[in-house]
Amino acid sequence: MLASAEISCALRNVVRRCAIAIAAPASRTAGRSRCNRRMHPALILPFACSARLPQPPRDGKVLLAFSSSRLTFFPMAQLILSAVGPDRSGLVGEMTSHLHASGASILDSRMVNFRGQFAMLILFECDADAAKKMEAALPDVGQRMGLHLFITGQAPAARATEGLPFRLKTYSMDQPGIVAKITGVLRQHGVNIEDLVAHQQSAAFAGSLLFVTEMELTVPPSLPIRKLRSELDAVCNELNCDMDLEPAGD
């Protein structure tokens, strides 16, 4: 799978490097293409140099298909599948096998067991026809697997947030409002949360549950880190919460 610009560039290079003979149907075998021997056979296109090449879609990705007579572009759809249901052994294998059999390619995923309820978020890619068939079959697939399934179209990628990557981690005795108050400070300063994980864990030394949050942040270049750290410290002091704010490594 190639991006549209890459496909257009590849086609131009192929036509530039290959001299393809134009032969009448009766003498088609007599006219043979001459091409640089170093070129991969899959790149020998059955087009005359003067023929008009098909144009790939301007946006998104396409699947390239070669046949004996033409080159075809199939637009690719990116979709997000969300699934929630009672946890059981084999769920991930069933879901990923279903996607593979339907012609989908998984691009990204998040899966977690929420105390007996298993949740999946899967970003996948497939051609438009396969996407329609998958959406139509969704109710039956969900009933068979015991999952609530939803498919959402992937919106065009937004412009990446510019800034400095940081990691924020907090530890405190569990109490209401921790996530809301900490993320409120980040929102006020335009800090983008790229990833957030919050969970309870046992703390033998405290005799009760410890609440931990871990975040990956993008801090605006104009925001002084000292100011952000100071305001987070103030909120954490109110919550009796420890905090680590450090630059994110590679």
In a domain, 72, yes or no: no
User: In one letter, which amino acid is 237?
Assistant: N
Residue 53: the pLDDT is 45
Same domain, 193 and 146: no
Same domain, 85 and 129: yes
Which positions ≥6 away from 201 have C-beta within 8 Å?
209, 210, 212
Same domain, 172 and 146: no
Residue 201: the pLDDT is 86
Residue 20: the pLDDT is 39
Model-level pTM? 0.65
Domain closes at, from 131, 153, 175: 153
Outline where 46-103 has alpha helix (H): 91-101
Domain closes at, from 153, 184, 218: 153
Same domain, 187 and 144: no
In a domain, 212, yes or no: yes
Q: How far is CA 85 from the centre of its chain?
A: 22
Torsion angle (degrees, nearest 10) of CA 193, 197, 198, 203:
-130
Same domain, 168 and 235: yes
Is the separation of the CB atoms in 201 and 209 below 8 Å?
A: yes
In a domain, 65, yes or no: no
Which positions ≥6 away from 24 have C-beta within 8 Å?
none
Please report, for the domain that includes residue 210, its CATH number.
3.30.70.260
Instruction: Kindly give the parts of the chain with pLDDT less than 50.
Output: 1-2, 14-60, 62-69, 71-73
Q: Total domain count for the chain?
A: 3
Residue 67: the pLDDT is 45
Residue 37: the pLDDT is 41
In a domain, 71, yes or no: no
Residue 179: the pLDDT is 95
Token readout for 52 is: 């008009």
pLDDT digits (tens, 9 = 90+) for 125-153: 999 899 999 999 999 999 999 999 999 98
In a domain, 23, yes or no: yes
Same domain, 133 and 189: no
In a domain, 217, yes or no: yes
Residue 206: the pLDDT is 63
Residue 29: the pLDDT is 40
Residue 6: the pLDDT is 55
In a domain, 63, yes or no: no
Distance CA(75)–CA(58), nearest Å, equals 10
Enclosing domain of residue 51: 2-56
In a domain, 64, yes or no: no
Residue 103: the pLDDT is 93
